[in-house]
């Protein structure tokens, strides 16, 4: 009887979560003279403080994909803000243009960090955000970006990189404040050369870090729009997408917990 009652309560909680109203809004802000437009997502109707997470887009730019991920985070109970790294309305028409847009930030890591911090500040301004429980996730170019925030010593509980480039000209020299989770396609030919150096960097900095690799997955394994042809080096992998999202959930559950680690 007790098991049946527990199952019923869990089913009810799941149904209530699924039916929760998710609110979204575009947020215009600036980094210096550059006008940016992000996307806020949160669960409506609560009054308690919730952990806040920024989402940094892939190299194409701020678009539907990053917004969708922000909304998924909101359904998990977080307040999320999909940041804009390139400028309001700037979205690459192809990979060549995306390479140029992202390349400017790969060449100037200080600018990358500053632009991401402008988005983090917008997250802090959203209602009911717990200022002591902040995190960041990023995809591809965005994964690199959140790792740069960690390297800079930004006061975040944790960062998660999904198929991000791990190399940097400015490695961490002190232990990052943020715990670091790297979710990586084991067959990602673009990123694999930088994995050993990243691990050594994390060891030297005495960081709290993890690297999880997914067999058979290449670059962009969480992006359905990448298609399924792994020969191109960028392809969607449904299993790796699901498993990496669950790994992220467990990571944030741990680092946002008020209970001390055993």
Domains of the chain: 27-255 (3.40.50.1820)
* 161 pLDDT above the threshold of 90: yes
Counting residues of the chain whose pLDDT is more than 70, the rounded percentage is 91
Distance CA 190, CA 200 (A): 19
pLDDT reported for residue 127: 84
Structural tokens at position 2: 């007790």
Residue range 54-66: average pLDDT? 98
pLDDT exceeds 80 at position 262? no
**Beta strand 179-185 with 129-139: parallel, antiparallel or unpaired?**
unpaired
The residues that bridge with 180 in the sheet, in sequence order, are 159, 209
Q: Which residues contact 43 (CB under 8 A, 6 or more apart)?
A: 20, 21, 22, 23, 50, 74, 75, 77, 79
The residue among 45 and 160 whose pLDDT is bigger is: 160
Segment 18-41 mean pLDDT? 92
The model scores a pTM over 0.85: yes
Helix (H, G, I), strand (E, B) or coil at 26: strand
The confidence band for 6, taking pLDDT boundaries of 50, 70 and 90, is: very low
Q: Name which of 6-10, 27-31, 81-85 the model is least confident about.
A: 6-10
Alpha helical stretches, state H, 52-209: 64-75, 95-106, 109-125, 141-151, 195-205
Give the residue-averaged pLDDT of 8-31.
69
Q: What is the pLDDT of residue 13?
A: 42
**Mean pLDDT for the stretch of residues 223-248:** 97
Side-by-side strand order, sheet with 129-139: 22-31, 34-43, 79-82, 50-56, 129-139, 158-162, 179-185, 209-214
Query: What per-residue confidence (pLDDT) applies to 46?
Result: 79
Please determine, for residue 251, whether its predicted confidence score (pLDDT) is greater than 70.
Answer: yes
Q: The dihedral of CA 80, 91, 87, 114: what is its sign? A: positive
The rounded distance, in Å, linking the Cα atoms of 167 and 107 is: 12
Alpha carbon of 97 to those of 36, 101, 102, 153, 166: distances in Å? 19, 6, 9, 31, 21
Q: Which two tokens stand for residue 149?
A: 């925030």
- What are 188-229's pLDDT values in tens digits? 999 999 999 999 999 999 999 999 999 999 999 999 999 999
Q: pLDDT at position 20, please?
A: 65
Tell me what pLDDT residue 231 has.
96
Query: So what's the pLDDT on residue 259?
Result: 60
DSSP notation for 219-235: BTTT-GGG-S-GGGSB-
**Exposure letters 200-233 (e unless 16+ CB within 10 A, then b):** ebbeebebbbeeeebeebbbbbbbeebeeebeee
pLDDT tier at 45 (50, 70, 90 boundaries)?
Answer: confident
Q: What is the mean pLDDT of the chain?
A: 92
CA gap 161, 184 in Å, rounded: 8
Distance of alpha carbon 66 from alpha carbon 239, whole angstroms: 20
Question: What local confidence, expressed as pLDDT, does residue 11 receive?
Answer: 45
Top pLDDT among 16 and 89 is at 89
Share of the chain above pLDDT 90, in %: 88
Give residue-wise pLDDT tens across range 104-153.
999 999 999 999 999 999 999 998 999 999 999 999 999 999 999 999 99
**63: DSSP letter:** S
């Amino acid at each position: 009887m007790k098991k049946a009652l527990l199952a019923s309560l869990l089913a009810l909680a799941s149904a209530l979560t699924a039916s929760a109203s998710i609110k979204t809004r575009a947020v215009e802000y600036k980094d210096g003279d550059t006008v940016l437009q992000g996307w806020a997502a949160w669960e409506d109707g609560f009054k308690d403080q919730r952990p806040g997470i920024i989402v940094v887009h892939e190299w194409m730019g701020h678009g539907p994909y990053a917004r969708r991920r922000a909304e998924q985070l909101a359904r998990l109970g977080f307040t999320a803000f999909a940041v804009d790294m390139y400028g309001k309305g700037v979205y690459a028409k192809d990979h060549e243009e995306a390479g140029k847009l992202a390349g400017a930030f790969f060449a100037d890591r200080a600018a990358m960090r500053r632009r991401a911090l402008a988005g983090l500040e917008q997250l802090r301004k959203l209602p009911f955000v717990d200022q002591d429980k902040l995190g960041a996730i990023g995809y591809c170019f965005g994964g690199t970006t959140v790792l740069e925030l960690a390297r800079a010593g930004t006061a975040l509980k944790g960062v998660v990189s999904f198929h991000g480039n791990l190399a940097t000209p400015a490695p961490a020299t002190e232990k990052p404040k943020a715990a670091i989770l790297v979710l990586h396609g084991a067959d990602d030919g673009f990123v694999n050369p930088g994995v050993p150096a990243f691990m050594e960097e994390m060891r030297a900095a005495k960081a709290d870090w993890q690297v999880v690799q997914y067999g058979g997955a290449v670059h962009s394994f969480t992006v359905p729009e990448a298609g399924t042809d792994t020969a191109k080096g960028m392809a969607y992998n449904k299993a790796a997408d699901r498993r990496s999202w669950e790994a992220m959930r467990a990571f944030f559950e741990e680092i946002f917990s008020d209970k001390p680690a055993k």
